[in-house]
Amino acid sequence: MNFATYSPSMYFMEATYLIASILFILSLKMMSHPDTARRGMFLAEGGMFAAVVGTLIGGHIISWTWIIAGLSLGSIIGAWMAVSVPMTAMPQRTALSHAFGALAAALVGIGEFLVNINELGPVKRGALGFEIILGALTTTGSLIAAGKLQGIVPGRPIQFKGQNIVNLATAAAMAGCFFYFWFNPEASAVFYSMLGIAFLFGVMLVIPIGSADMPVVMSLLNSYAGLAAAATGFVLGNNVLIIAGTLDGFSGFILSVLMCKAMNRSITNVLFGGFGSVIAEETHSAGGVMREISLDDAAMQLAFASRVIFVPGYGLATAQAQHAVRELADMLEERGVTVKYAIHPVAGRMPGHMNVLLAEANVPYSALYEMEQINPEFPSTDVAVVIGANDVVNPDARDNPKSLIAGMPILEVDRARSVIVLKRGQGRGFSGLENPLFFKSCTSMLYGDAKSSLTHLAQAVQHV
C-alpha cells in the first residue's frame, strides 16, 4: 500500500489493527496456563473490540443500516447464549461459534466473487478458493459436531462400505473445481459447484467420527475456521484478519496434534479410523463384580484420609456438579486433608472442558494438576474420587496390549490405596469400552447423580 495516500481514518485503522494483533498474541500466550487464561480471554475480547472499531472508523462504509442491524442482532444473540447456555453445553456452543465464523468467511467470499472477481489476481483468487472451501466445510462439519454433542445426531460413527473412497472422490472433485475456477474465474457454475461440494464434504468428514474423538474434531474445526479467516484477510487485504486467522489456524492444529498424542492416536486415524464404531463392537467383559459402597462408608474414608485426589470427567459436567465438588473439597481441607484435582487433557467433550467447569466453581488453579504431574502421586494417595470419568482412567490402556486403546495415556487412579467411582449406573463410557478399574478390589462404586452424591457426601463428612 502507498501510505502517502492514507487518510487520518486509515492511519487510525492500521493503528488499531496493530494493537489488536498484539493483544491477540498476548492472549494466546496467557491462555496457555490456567492461572492467566481468564486474563487472556479479556485481552482477546479487547483485541476484537479494537479490530471492529478500527474497521468501522477506517473502512469505506457505504451504508450503516446493515452494519447496525448486524451488530444489534449479533449482540442480542451473543448475550442470550452467554446467559442461557449452561456450562455442560459449552462444547456444542463452541462448535456453533466455529460454524458461524466459517459461514461468515464463506459469505464474504461469495460477495467478493459477485462484486470483484474480475479485479482479483491469481494469488487472491487462490485465497478466495481456499476461503470458500474451508469456510463451507467447516460450517457443515461444525454443525454436525454440535449435533453429535447435543444428541441430535447419533454420537456413534455413521459409516458405510467404501466411505473413505467416497470422501476421497468428493475431495478430488472439490480440488478439481478449485483449480478450474483458479484459471477460469468467470466460471460461476464451477464456483458454486465448489461451494456445494465443500458443504457436502464437511458433513462427510465428521459423520464417520465417533463421539470419543470429538475433542480432536473440535480442535481441527477451530483450525479450519481460523485458516478460512486468514484466507479472507488475503482476499480483502485486511492485516488483522490475516494475523488473527493464522494464529487461530495454527494454534488449533497444534492443539489437535497434542490431543491426538494424549489419546495415542494419529490425526489420520481419527479422521479415517472410525474409532467409536470399532470400540463399540468390543463386547468382552472385564470380569468380576462391581462393589457398591454406602454413602456413610464413603464419607468415612474421605473424612479420615490424608490425601484425596478428585478426577473429574464428563459426568461432572452433565450433573453440573462442579460447585458440589468444590464444597466437599473445602470441607475436607478444613479437616486437614490435602486435596488435588487430576485433569486429563481429553476429559470431557472439548479441550480444557474440565478446567473451565472447575474455574466456574472458583477451584484454585494451584489445585489443578495435569496428568504428568499427578500420576506419580496416586500411589501415596489415600482416596481417588472419580466423578463421571471412564475412558481416561481405564487401566486397559496401560496393561492390555490387545486393547483398542492400548498406549493411550491415562490417569492411573487404580494405583491409589482406595478408589471411589461416582456413576449413574453400570454403563460403559463414551467410547463403549468396559473399564476393568470398576472391578478391582480397591474400587468402590457410589451410584447416583454426581451432584446429589457429592452434596450428601459433604453433609455426611460434616457429621463424621
At how many degrees (to 10) do helices 122-150 and 90-116 cross? 150
- Inter-residue contact 311 to 391 (CB < 8 Å): no
- Amino acid identity at 370: E
Which residue, 155, 157, 137, 281, is CA-closest to 223?
137
**Cα torsion at 8, 10, 14, 19 (round to 10°)?**
60
Q: For 396-454, give the DSSP string.
A: HHHH-TTSTTTT-----GGGSS-EEEEESSS---TT----GGGGSTTEEEEES-HHHHH
Question: Can 391 be counted among the known catalytic residues?
Answer: yes
Q: How far apart are CA 83 and CA 62, in angstroms?
A: 34
Cα(50)–Cα(32) distance, rounded to whole angstroms?
Answer: 23
Q: Which three cell numbers stand for residue 78?
A: 451473543
CA 257 to CA 109: how far, in whole Å? 29
Rounded distance, CA 323 to CA 325, Å? 6
- Sequential DSSP letters for 108-165: HHHHHHHHHGGG--HHHHHHHHHHHHHHHHHHHHHHHHHHHHHTSS-SS----TTHHH
DSSP string, 266-295: -HHHHHHS-HHHHHHT------S-PPB--H
Q: Give the three cell numbers for residue 39.
A: 486474563
| Amino acid at site 450 | A
3-state secondary structure of 386: strand
Cα 321 to Cα 327: distance, rounded to the nearest angstrom? 10
Rounded distance between C-alpha atoms, residue 453 and residue 154, angstroms: 29
Of 213, 248, 391, 414, catalytic: 391
Catalytic site residues? 391
